[in-house]
Amino acid sequence: MKKFSFITTLIIFLAFSSGAKAVTIDFEDVNVGSTGAVWLDYYHNATWTDGTGELGVGVMDPYIFSDPYIPAIASESQIAWNVYGNDFGIEFDAPILFESAYLTSSYYAPNALSVFGTYADGSSFNFEDVITLNPVGNQQFEEFDFLTQAISSITISPISAMELYGRDYTAYDIRPWFGVDDITYTPVTPAPEPATATLGLMSLVGLLGARRRNK
């Protein structure tokens, strides 16, 4: 019985002291069907939005999905993208620490992307021109080192169109498309109350002492 109590207390203490592990969303478990593309509105404990309230974000297999604007996106697996050049937004069910994401360009590659959203404390952030995508065929793994606080939502927004084949499409109100994949973040787990953590530690120390006395 004493051995069982010791092991149980040890497990509880280790559970309190262990941190959350990073999560990576790669969209591989999304069924894109025979057309090769679907739209997400809720997935992976988060609400996905395009900023209009009408659509979510798209997930596609670039080798199946056929669209004149998309074929330049290069990926060996499924990837998400901002449908119709709208925003790419995620509202998490619980606060997270955003770490990185894989970004890739399409035919209408943006010159720059802005990132805005809400911190876990309810305040907002807005970083303009913080991400740059090069022309078609370029992929990059973007570290979000400018987000050092826990957040509850994030939106990546295209703000300009590139010159394509010598023609500037900005005047035609064509918003650029981009791909997003391998979104990595760490859930923010609430720390145990000081009294609870102290009680768990004292119990562990007490059991260790009793175990030594009984030897």
Token pair of 174 as six digits: 């064509």
Alpha helix ranges (H) inside the chain: 2-17, 194-213
What pLDDT sits at residue 158? 84
Does residue 5 belong to any structural domain of this protein? no
Rounded to the nearest integer, the mean pLDDT of the chain is 77
Q: What is the mean pLDDT of residues 23-29?
A: 95
Position 10 scores a pLDDT of: 47
How many domains does one find in the chain?
Answer: 1
Sequence-ordered list of residues with C-beta below 8 angstroms from that of 108, at least 6 positions apart, any chain: 69, 85, 161, 162, 164, 169, 174, 175, 176, 177
Is 210 part of a structural domain of the chain? no
Q: Taking every pair of C-alpha atoms in the chain, what is the biggest distance, in angstroms?
A: 85
* Strands 139-143 and 88-105, bridge-based pairing: antiparallel
Flag whether 7 is in a domain: no
Q: Which long-range contacts (CB under 8 A, 24 or more apart) does 188-197 make?
A: 188/20, 188/94, 188/95, 188/96, 188/97, 188/120, 188/150, 189/19, 189/20, 192/16, 196/16, 197/16
Q: What is the pLDDT of residue 13?
A: 47
Residue 48 within a domain = yes
> Is residue 1 one of the residues assigned to a domain?
no
133-191 per-position pLDDT tens digit: 766 556 778 889 899 999 999 999 987 655 444 555 555 555 677 889 999 999 997 65
Residues near 104 by beta carbon (within 8 Å), at least 6 away in sequence: 73, 74, 75, 79, 133, 138, 139, 140, 178, 179, 181
The pLDDT of residue 165: 45
Q: What tens digit of pLDDT does each residue of 103-140 get?
A: 887 766 666 789 999 999 999 999 988 888 766 556 77
Average pLDDT score over residue span 62-76:
68
Q: Are 151 and 118 in contact (CB under 8 A)?
A: yes
- The stretch 42-64 carries a mean pLDDT of 89
Asked if residue 43 has pLDDT above 60, the reply is yes
Number of H helices, E strands in the chain: 2, 13
Q: What pLDDT is recorded for position 141?
A: 83
Residue 10 amino acid letter: L
Is 182 domain-assigned?
yes
Least confident span in 8-12, 78-82, 91-95, 145-149: 8-12
Structural domain includes residue 4? no
* Amino acid type, 142: E
What confidence score (pLDDT) does residue 112 get?
79
Strands 23-25 and 178-187: antiparallel
**25 falls within a domain:** yes
**Which residues constitute the domain of residue 120?**
20-203
CATH code for the domain of 47: 2.60.120
